[in-house]
Amino acid sequence: MLQILLKRLLIAIPVILIVITITFFLIRMAPGGPFDAEKAVPPEVLKSLNERYNLDAPVIVQYKDYMLNLLQGDFGPSFRYPSRSVTEMIFTGMPVTFELAFYAILVALIIGIFAGVLAAVKRNTALDYIPMTIAMIGICMPTFLLGPLLVLFFGIHLELLPVSGWDTLPGDKILPSITLGAAYAAYIARLSRGGMLETLNQDYVRTARAKGLSEFNVVFNHAMRGGLIPVLSFLGPAVAGLIGGSFVVETIFQIPGLGRFYVEAAFNRDYTMILGTTIFFSVLIIFFNLLSDLAVLIANPQSRSSQ
């Protein structure tokens, strides 16, 4: 187990370095600069701003200086908000984004596992076809389409739920959580069904049925333990995807989270904010993938031999 963990960590280091390097040079290759959107300023003021943020130095020198600062844990100041550091802004938006991701994964797990297990137990019936058809639609429907549709129906037409904000009105977290978690619920439903179908055909499940155990006992106490391992493997990438994929949802529902800061940084060409959030999301993705791998190894020790 420890050997596998160290192997994953050694692989993660060059991956993060590659992400930082590619992001650093790509944003500087984009047309324009961080101060182009501001009102016209005298050349001497623009020169002073470039000197202050080290933008007048060659790109390779900027890269070297940024990496040295990064090793000290310094993401630098925001170009858009000079009085605030990137680290401060990340930790300001992070709790909201994490809370949104938590609610979304709960929605995904509850709906996905229920639909997948039901479809597997009732194979080739309406209770199999209908949930799996809805799951396929959920996989194909992007959040930027589902969000406005939910807003239009539940917020504007029925006037049941708030359509924007976070911690401002009762029920304002329902629509964002459903919008973000719906696609992952669809994936989990498909994975649950496949894993359960394979497990229900195992010898130990047949033995449990032969002993006269109830179907409920067979499914929930025996089959689900092995049938949900694919879901366990998917949880790491899913949680990371929920956190990193909250940009659209936070923008649609005006949620002051990290994803919204990232979108604003892209529009404002805020180099340090783009880099800081990209690094943060990359580390989260690697971390949750690692947790997922470890969880699978604990739940299924036989998989350690293939690592």
- Please check the confidence at residue 183 and state whether its pLDDT lies above 70: yes
Q: Which of the four pLDDT bands, split at 50, 70 and 90, describes residue 22?
A: very high
pLDDT of residue 60: 92
- Check if the beta carbon of residue 138 is closer than 8 Å to that of residue 218: no
pLDDT in tens, 31-57: 766 766 555 666 777 777 777 777 778
Residue 296 has pLDDT above 80, yes or no: no
- CA dist 302 and 287 (Å) reads 23
Average per-residue pLDDT in the chain? Answer: 83
- Sequence-distant (6+) residues with CB within 8 A of 146 are 179, 182, 183
pLDDT at 108: 92
Yes or no: say if 215 and 190 are a contact pair by the CB < 8 Å rule.
no
Give residue 91's pLDDT.
86
Task: Give the model's confidence band at 185: pLDDT under 50 very low, under 70 low, under 90 confident, else very high.
Answer: very high
| Ramachandran angles phi, psi of 77, nearest 5° | -85, 155
With residue 291 as reference, give the H or E element that holds it. helix 271-299
Q: 61-65, 195-199, 231-235, 253-257: which range is least confident on average?
A: 231-235
Quick one: which of 251, 234, 102, 93 has its CA closest to 177? 102
90 vs 6, which has greater pLDDT? 90
pLDDT given at position 286: 84
Q: How confident is the model at residue 18 (pLDDT cuts 50, 70, 90)?
A: very high
Distance separating alpha carbons of residues 69 and 75, to the nearest angstrom:
7
- CATH fold label, 94-306: MetI-like fold (1.10.3720)
pLDDT computed for residue 235 by the predictor: 81
List the one residue out of 33, 4, 15, 16 whose CA is nearest residue 280.
16
Per residue in 53-105, pLDDT (tens digit) is: 777 788 898 899 889 988 888 888 888 777 788 888 888 888 898 899 999 99
State what percent of residues in the chain have pLDDT above 90.
Answer: 17
Residues in the chain: 307
